Amino acid sequence: MTLLVEAQERPLDPGYALAAARRAEREAAAARAGAPAPRRSRRATALLVATALVLGLITSAAVLQLRRPAGSAERARALLVEQIEERSSRVVERNARAAELGAQVRELQDEALAGLDPALADVLAADVVAAGSAPVRGPGLRVVLTDGPGAADGSEPESAVRDGDLQLLVNALWAAGAEAVAVGGQRLTATAEIRNRAGAVLVDLVPVVGPYVVEAVGDPAGLETGLARSSAADHLAALRSVWGIGVQTSRQGTLTLPAGRAPALRESRLPEGVDPVTGGPSAAGVAQDDVQDGLQDGSQGRDEGSGGAPASEGTDG
């Protein structure tokens, strides 16, 4: 408390006060004697200016040196940029090649199915659409979700569109009778998933940024009615009113959805001797096991017969 009172009553240090008083006395004595006030010499002024310039240059050089990345860091960054550009172009080329090969495969399939029963061809066409292995074109419904105003600067993370919002919307569209659905240009298949990773939305492992466009091919009126009657409609209304997330729904006369990513083909085989119907040992496997058991029993019998008889000992004649 004493220190605070002293600081308020005597804000100036005694030493500084004494120096200021002495300076004031010298100036007053000089004024009474009629002498001019002491001035700095030109040499002192030049020295002061030179010192300020040197200090400014040193400070500028230090700042530039700190802001400039090291040579190794620049080389590493340039190498990474080059690798990213190279691999990105390679991905684009391979995607184009995959699309070209997919078109050729579909042409060959159409040629092979031309002579089949029309009913079987319709079933195969429906299966292709359901599997998402072919592009789809037709009328449908488009729903666009936009992040709220606080999502960009991170002040309100809850105002950003999440994977759960898109999942609920997509499930409602499937339940409303959608024949095909795409999110952000990525076709949804039986193995595709919508997930959040490090703040980004991934659709079938492909990052998607807002605004999030969800397109569904099907009867536009039926899709819109089914969506309005689902629980997703209440969820979207809450997102709009509470977090300011934009929701726009519109009927579309023509939508074109791309084909989904081709799944990795895997195969499996039954072990030898297993019946493919029952899953138990097959007749051939049982017979083979019996033969092997018989051979082993015979071998053991021979070993016992040869080892059980005592060795003949020679007799003296």
Percent of all residues in the chain with a pLDDT value above 90, rounded to a whole number: 27
Beta-carbon-side half-sphere exposure of residue 43 (alpha carbons within 13 Å): 0
How much is the pTM? 0.55
Given a cut of 90, whether residue 15 has pLDDT beyond it is no
Of 93 and 309, the one with more pLDDT = 93
pLDDT in tens, 172-182: 999 999 999 99
Given a cut of 90, whether residue 6 has pLDDT beyond it is no
pLDDT in tens, 115-148: 777 777 778 777 877 788 788 999 999 999 999 8
Of 53 and 215, the one with more pLDDT = 215
Percent of all residues in the chain with a pLDDT value above 70, rounded to a whole number: 76
Architecture of domain 136-257: 2-Layer Sandwich (3.30)
159 vs 307: CA distance, rounded Å: 87
Residue 115: partners with Cβ closer than 8 Å, 6 or more residues away: none
pLDDT in tens, 240-297: 999 899 999 999 999 999 888 766 667 777 777 777 667 677 665 545 555 455 545 5
Residue 194: partners with Cβ closer than 8 Å, 6 or more residues away: 163, 166, 167, 170, 183, 188, 201, 202, 203
Residue type, 133: S
